[in-house]
Structure 1
Amino acid sequence: MKLGEKVKYFRKMRKLSQKDLAEGICSISYLSKIENCTTEPSEEIGIFLGKRLDIDLYNTSYSKRKEEYKSLFYHLYNRDKFESEIAYRELLNARIDHTEDSILLNIFKSMYLLLMSQNTNEATRLINEVSYLNDGAKSEKSFYYFIVKGLRDYYLNDFKEALNSFKKAEEVIEIFQYHSWEKGYLYYLISLTANRLWKNSMCLDYAKLALNIFEKRYDFKRCADSRILLGIVYQRFENWVESHKHFKMAESVANAFNDNFLKGAIYQNLGYNESKKGNSEGALSLYNISLELKKDQPVETKTSTLFTLIREYLKFGEFSKCRKRVLDGLSLVRENPNLYEYQLHFNHYFNILEYGACSEVTTTYLVENVIPYLEGKNESTYQVEYLQLVGEYFEHEKKYKLSSQYYLKALNIYKKYNQG
């Protein structure tokens, strides 16, 4: 990090204007040139600026705690909650003397908050304080900045922006030396995000890259993560044999480690396979097993399983059980802005149960609330289904022009997202 960048960063951290910092030391225009790295200040001016900022501007190397920050990342990557908490508390209690320490602490504190509790509010505040890394020259710490920024955007369901950040991290990882697990984890995150954007080819390619690294490291749980993504992509290609193979290989790992987190995801996806093959009874059994495995997990993991149960119960004609799961879902997602999309889905199914699928109330809610939200999030997964439902309603009402508009929109989205 250049000296001028340090001056600019800590001036903003101290909430000082250029006038406040420059007064009695140098002109504002000269300070501006220093911060833009177009001129290098004399050592005397640099010392005075450092004293006013209460930092040592001339510490140009990473602090000795650099490896401790990376150690925290490693524990988080391994999902080792106990070791992560110890490493995090040690870092919080450490004295911050230099610029690099302050920047790295913001980055890795954000990472801890996101991966341990999905605390996007506090993470956003910390990320914003080092946002200059987004546009600056590539540096070793840029990789970690783009990882945490991508994670923050992913948890906020802004998958397009998350993918953009992860791809920037990929540019950095080709320049500097990182551990193989860091590269594997980045490839996994790219695959995970591409999956949410229905970029199927990208998801497949990066899941394979991640799997190759994890297999060489004998990192079995991360291998299972990658195989779950592969199984999901093959679901979309309707290659049930290949999809089932990857899920069952992931299941063998989950059983070996008695990992309920992995099992919950696997049985949900195996249930989806059975649903698509027309076996509603088998699907419901697997979905319920998944939900039971997730009973002590965060709310975020339960909502997707509840959603699949609701859809299957409705398809199977189990309306009372469907209603119970809708109410369970609504009670979980209320007051949680990160789960607003599921709130929309659950409200939609509540309307179906109350008023019917082809009703004015159900259609109005889709048109005014659900569809605009999904369009704004670039979310294709259920857009096609909901647009077709609206088209059916207007067709039933003999409003054929409106009906054809919604059918055509559904067709265009389907074509767009089934090319990748």
Structure 2
Amino acid sequence: MRLRTMPVFLAFLAMGFADAVGPFVSLAKNEFQLSNSVASLIPFVGFSMFGLLSVPVGLLQDKKGKKFVLMMGLLVALLGLLNASIGLGSFAQFLVTVMLVGAGAAILQVAGNPIMRDVSEEGKYARNLSLGQFIKAIGSLSGPMIPVIAAKYFGADWKVIFLVYTGALILTILAVAPMKVEEKKAEHKAATLASCLALLKNGYALAMVGAIFVYVGAEVSVSAGIPLFLKERFGLEIAKVGLLGTGLFFTALTVGRFSGGVILNWMSPRKFFLVTCGISILGLLGLFIPDQNIAVASFFLTGIGFANIFPLVFAIAVESMPSHVNELSGLMVTAIVGAAFVPPLTGLVADGSTVQLSFLVPLACVLYITWAALMNLKTAKA
């Protein structure tokens, strides 16, 4: 049975590759001589795919099956990576790659969580799903790490990341293709576009979906802004600060997600939700202290705070509205499109003032999420 879960774990790793759009902002900004606002089109193009594809692909999955959709996501992402691997001649070509990788990740996200249930042993689904999210975080961490390692130890260009990702995608496709899956029927009525939209009339559901929207936007804004911030404030070269800044942030996300599973054994999700918001606020406020070491520590602290916001919002919302699990799932995956809209706003603020002041945008996002956390805490006490 463990061999049956391995291909799905590889698919979770591939999901994390889409998070490389954050580090890509600073790298592509230098490569193609872009302004902050134009560079912010990178996450917009990639993450807009979540808004466009999540619900339609979910409906397709009901007809064609989870393995079909999983393979489709892998092939779409591979097509994007091959486009970049043959050589990037223009920013437009680069955006095509980002769009296809984002589309592939959106499709994988729809299929990945439910298919893990089909290949897991009885009673092991929750454990495997948590491990899958941890592995996805490793995929996310590879985005800032691979270009720095390639440049420092091999003298290679940052675009070598596309060749590495292409190899990983081919390996995953070869592992998933022969996988036999006995797909289990859904326990709840399948979500439709109409049922998802109808749920938005519920104020609580709208608030929680909004929390996902601004969270993913804040996460991408921070990961994209770290190298730009360190260069503007402290004169550090973007090609050399991946591990110091963005890499440290994604490392914190990885550590935080692992630690969150342990902490939730003795702390309630609603209380932990508020704690993570407080840590995130402290981390972002630390960026306004004029000290390089404090700035680096603040990025790590922000990553620790951000690490569990998405799963906490999702779990608390489903716990509060268990009869609408499919609609909530569809809406929250769709809300990942927030990563397409918040970073451009952050980029506009950076162009109009400074990169440092642009971090007020993700701070405002976290303040909204904190309001949602307080709302849930009051509901639990009532």
| TM superposition score category, shorter chain reference | under 0.3
More helix by share: 2
When normalised by structure 2's length, the TM-score is 0.26
Name which one, 1 or 2, has greater alpha-carbon Rg: 1
Q: Greater relative contact order (Cα 8 A, min sep 6): structure 1 or 2?
A: 2
